[in-house]
Chain A
């Protein structure tokens, strides 16, 4: 065997470049060697039925897992009505407040002409017993929208929550608007003796007198 000439031996440094990826793989340890999963050998196309029993059950063509038919869901009420609570509220309001007048009267967030905390209101009820007082707060809750009135009866402070859309409420009048815009939404500080407005009966009776003079009708007392 002829030995490589000393000149050619210099080229031995190029030998690693000629190495194929397989030889690199071959140097890896056996635990990390990747062996691809062998492809399944297909069954003979014309396998006689008598040999079927020799196959494991999962390989038999007639034992293949059946595909379940999944049925589509019917139309959902959740899509037709996304918010049932407001749907119930709206159907209520359409009978209790068809014109939307009461809603607008207390919608202080959107309507600039609405009732605001600090206004003096007079409410008449179906049973004919009016109540007047200064509005301390307005609670906007759909059909449960309500306002709090404070007054003084027989020198005792009295407060009353009135539901705006209650069929018991016949009318709500604004007796006097507050001169300045209140800087609070809830005027609970008016319960303190220092800020208490005491009785508003005088203001209300003056208003009623003026009103009867304008309309030319005699109103009931108080």
Chain B
């Protein structure tokens, strides 16, 4: 059994200290003094995370994501164009008619850059058209004014592989940014179809015209199994709803004609969306990158 202090001695200092000392001063008083020159005898623990400069990049990191994407990211920016309509062009050699879409570039300029250091990826922000400054929020207007650019109606981003694909801010992207014969991907919103039924939206077969079917000739039928199937409608069930007005990319469109003066780019085939919609065209990712003459690039940037 440990020795005990006499009862009177143990209680006396507490009773004396309580009224005259303030808790903050006592805390300072009992703080241990800093110790110098003493090191831990235990070795530091290795990191729980398998990351290091000499280790391979983990698959779920942004760095690995960029590395995976490197082969499918274009080397240079694209352009925003307006779909103007379709026509045909007769091939000079074969004499066959090639259906084509006419696109027009309207004051397309580089607005800003997205960089790996700041945003996590490389991209070129491109603006087109013109919007009256009074119809614009001040923050967006300041974004353009800071770059010395007029207010743009349409602003889009084009991802590029690395910083060599970032043209200087304020550079005009004209129609001769693209070459005749090269391939591009055209990205635009499809024509909106409104609220449509399942037959139009998902290609369902509908139901019989007769054989006792009444009033449900175009409906979807059953939405799923009953008891045993969970007695619920599974997520992602195809149903009626809004159709169209969603982004669609048409790949590998050949550029047939380029007219820098009028800003015209003519591509083969059809491009999604109505006339007057905005189309984003960029070098096709499934074709070899076009060879851009270095002289032309420097001349444009100057």
Contacts and interface: CB of A to CB of B under 8 A. Distances in A.
Contacts, number: 96
Interface stretch (A71-79, A173-181, A205-213): A71-79
Contacts of A68: 138, 141-142, 145
A81 B145 contact: no
B95 A167 contact: yes
Interface in A71-118: 71-78, 80-81, 83-85, 87-89, 92, 96
A88 B104 CA distance: 11
A166 B104 contact: no
Interface residues on B, range: 35 or more
Interface of B: 82, 84-90, 95, 97, 100, 102-107, 109, 130, 133, 138, 141-142, 144-145, 148-151, 172, 175, 257, 259, 261-264, 266
Interface string A127-157: 0000000000000001110000000000000
Given A78-B106, A167-B90, 8 more contacts: A76-B107, A78-B82, A78-B104, A84-B85, A85-B86, A85-B87, A88-B264, A88-B266
A76 B130 CA distance: 9
B87 A77 contact: no
B150 A77 contact: no
Given A88-B257, A167-B95, A71 B87 contact: no
A126 B95 contact: yes
A114 to B, nearest CB: 22
Contacts of B86: 85
A96 B91 CA distance: 11
Contacts of A143: 87-90
Contact of B90 (A69, A70, A96, A126): A96
A73 B89 contact: no
Interface residues of A, number: 30
18 contacts: A70-B151, A71-B149, A73-B151, A77-B106, A77-B107, A77-B262, A77-B263, A78-B82, A78-B104, A80-B262, A85-B87, A88-B266, A142-B87, A143-B87, A144-B87, A163-B97, A166-B90, A167-B90
A168 interface: yes
Given A78-B104, A144-B87, A84 B142 contact: no
Given A73-B130, A142-B87, A88 B102 contact: yes
